[in-house]
Amino acid sequence: MSDNYSSDDYEVVADAKLPQGMVSVRATGDGDFGTLVQTKTHAWLMDEPESVEGGLGKGPNPLELMQASLASCTLMTMGMYARRKGVELGDTRASVTYKKLPALPREAKSHFTVVLEFDPQISPEYQVKLSEIARKCPVHKLLTGMVEVVVEEA
């Protein structure tokens, strides 16, 4: 999606007034789930698919964005390591699937699976090292660590 998109009711543009590191979200009024996401440098739409009542499919849904964050961070972390070692990742890819598990006491209730597809030119030994590095991406660490979310009123 482009960083600039116009609609009759709103404009999808980055908000230079936002502090670096802050994300702001507001309802667009399109369907029940349409939201405009803005950062200091980017903006995009999010929604639920049309298969969900009230969804118009105008953008990824929150879980898809979480999956994209994990896959992107994984690939970026491996890329940073590979660049430092002078190795090209070529057509290496990361994909993520999400599954909600039955809730059991003291056990994870959500399951993300990251699948790494390495470029054929990357040796099996280096693939093992990159798989280790993949587990060090900040989003992976966030999802596997203890997280506290605080909701405050402005």
pLDDT tens digits for range 61-84: 999 999 999 999 999 999 999 999
Residue 149 lies in a domain: no
Report the domain count for the chain.
2
User: Which structural domain range is residue 89 located in?
Assistant: 62-144
Angle at 17 between CA 15 and CA 21, to 5 degrees: 80
Same-domain pairing of 93 and 126: yes
User: How far is it, in rounded angstroms, from Cα 24 to Cα 19?
Assistant: 10
CA atoms within 13 A on the CB side of 142: 11
pLDDT tens digits for range 23-34: 999 999 889 999
Residue 152 lies in a domain: no
Phi and psi angles of residue 13, each rounded to the nearest 5 degrees, phi first: -140, 150
When pLDDT is cut at 50, 70 and 90, the band that residue 146 belongs to is: confident
Same-domain pairing of 66 and 41: no
Same-domain pairing of 94 and 134: yes
Q: What is the reported pTM? A: 0.86
Same-domain pairing of 140 and 78: yes
Same-domain pairing of 91 and 132: yes
